[in-house]
Chain A
Amino acid sequence: MKIGKIIPLFFVLSVLFFYIEPLDAGAIRIRCASTTSTQNSGFFDYLLPKFEKKNGIKVDIIAVGTGQALEIGKRGDVDLVIVHSKEDEIRMVREGYFVERFNIMYNDFIILGPSDDPAGIKGLKTAPNAFRKIAASGKSFMSRGDNSGTHKTELKIWQEAKIDPREKRWYIEVGQGMENTLRVADQKRGYTLTDRGTWLSTKDRNRFNMEILVEGDPLLFNQYGIMAVNPSKHPHTKYREAKVFIDWIVSPAGQKAIADFKDRQGNAIFIPNAK
């Protein structure tokens, strides 16, 4: 094989390289940062085609934790965000990073644990009580540990319970997405906090040996919001197109599409509440 024979190979590759261009062309693309929990439940695969077909706008989802989603929104790397950390969202709108925040849907957080419930938290009415009991039992607790919306809620509950779990031996920071954290909790027979959507949409395919032990505490309410990046801070963002998407998702058509997204047993994963 002579060096000369490699040149045609390079040529072919170079031609292929320009194939990226057509992938880029076509519809207007907007970028939306969102959470791993919404992506893993298959929510966007279900929802986006309904919007894209009608409006000719393609929505690219970048699935990260809520903390990172807000951060890349602040930096202007995306056009809008769908996240679940209401207090942070309202604060960042006030700081001028985002234009206006809309509620779009909610579900709730639940505390999961092994079916035989060695810490005995089943049926407790409040989340902080359950956390206190888990801490006292010394059974392991899996935390997302990634600044996500779920992680922030979990830390709020520890605060309410007046326990500082960090550096405790039973407190395990997984540092990964929701489904991976559930898998670790299942394998290690520990407790964890998750949103009901992820639980419903992933429990069957993973055959988890866990069950819902605590639910219904108002602290466990999980509100999702949508907001566009402020175009006066980042003039390059596609505010107009992002607003078209936001208007659709809070419209009766978008809200109905959310309500119709169900798991295999027909349970709704999110409940629309844009008003």
Chain B
Amino acid sequence: METIFSGFLKAIGLLISFDKELYGIILLSLIISGGAVIIATFLGLPLGIITGLKKFFGRDFLATLLNTFMGLPPVVVGLTVYLILSRSGPLGFMDLIYTPYAMVIAQVILATPIIAALSHSTVVAIDPIIRDTARTLGATSSQIAWTIIQESRYSLVTSVIAGFGRITAEVGAVLIVGGNIAGYTRVMTTTIALETSKGEFGVAIALGIILILISFLINSMLHAIRKKGIR
């Protein structure tokens, strides 16, 4: 009980004194996950929307695949990315292992299927009346597609935010490919793991609070967007 209390006090102290190291870690986490979610959006949204709207061979299979990859275990992604980027791996010459870029790559792999699968189910679920109405009004197929995207824009944003939420909270993959190097690849989740293993619960709790706050903000945004979408 005492540990929890003193850890909590220390956490508040670190947060309000704007401890440089702590805020450096928070900033780095946001940059890495922010960058990853941008890339994942450019990959995942088109992928999800196209598999949702266009009929082509293997479409159902692709949709199932996307849903499967939504639940990829982060450590498996980390291990795979490590083996590929390792200096003895196929892309070793790029010298990316144990850099923030390796962490971005791992997070893109984690976030893309989430964004794709959620946006897929969004456009599939759009009321067929909208599609039919657009068609009877003489819309071309690309105009129909655009109408559906317009109609589902709130849910599409939701899927991007869900992807972001997942990767900021993830620890297994970034630990393996980033190496948790102080001031370079050390992000919130890996710091929590390290500080806990060191018995320094104050820093761990401080970052835990931040992570929960971020999660809360994300969910508030989600909620606000959904409400707008319903109206």
Contact = CB atoms under 8 A, between A and B. Distances in A.
Contact of A10 (B38, B101, B184, B200): B38
Nearest to A2: B153
Interface string A50-83: 0000000000111100000000100111100000
Interface stretch (B27-35, B70-78, B108-116): B27-35
A62 B181 contact: yes
Interface string B63-86: 000000000000000000000001
B30 A16 contact: yes
B98 A3 contact: no
A115 B156 CA distance: 60
Contacts of B99: 24
A14 B38 contact: yes
Interface stretch (A123-131, A174-182, A209-217, A248-256): A174-182
Nearest to B103: A20
Contact of B199 (A10, A62, A78, A183): A183
A60 B179 contact: yes
B192 interface: no
Interface stretch (B54-62, B87-95, B121-129): B87-95
Nearest to A78: B98
Contacts of A3: 153, 156-157
User: DSSP class of B's interface residues: helix, strand, loop or mixed?
Assistant: helix
B181 A236 contact: no
Nearest to B85: A77
Interface string A115-144: 000000000000000000000000000000
A63 B185 CA distance: 13
A163 interface: no
Contacts of B50: none
B173 interface: no
A1 B225 contact: yes
A205 interface: yes
Contacts of B225: 1
A202 interface: yes
Nearest to B24: A23
A60 B197 contact: no
Interface in B13-27: 27
Contact of B88 (A16, A76, A183): A76
A176 B87 contact: no
Contacts of A75: 86-89
B31 A1 contact: no
A152 interface: no
A236 B98 contact: no
Contact of A13 (B34, B197, B199): B34
Interface of A: 1-3, 6, 10, 13-14, 16-17, 19-20, 23-24, 29, 31, 36, 40, 45, 60-63, 72, 75-78, 176-177, 179-180, 183, 202, 205-206, 234, 236
Interface of B: 27-28, 30-32, 34-35, 37-38, 41, 86-89, 92-93, 95, 97-101, 153-154, 156-157, 179-184, 197-200, 224-225, 228
6 contacts: A13-B37, A36-B197, A40-B198, A62-B181, A206-B199, A236-B87
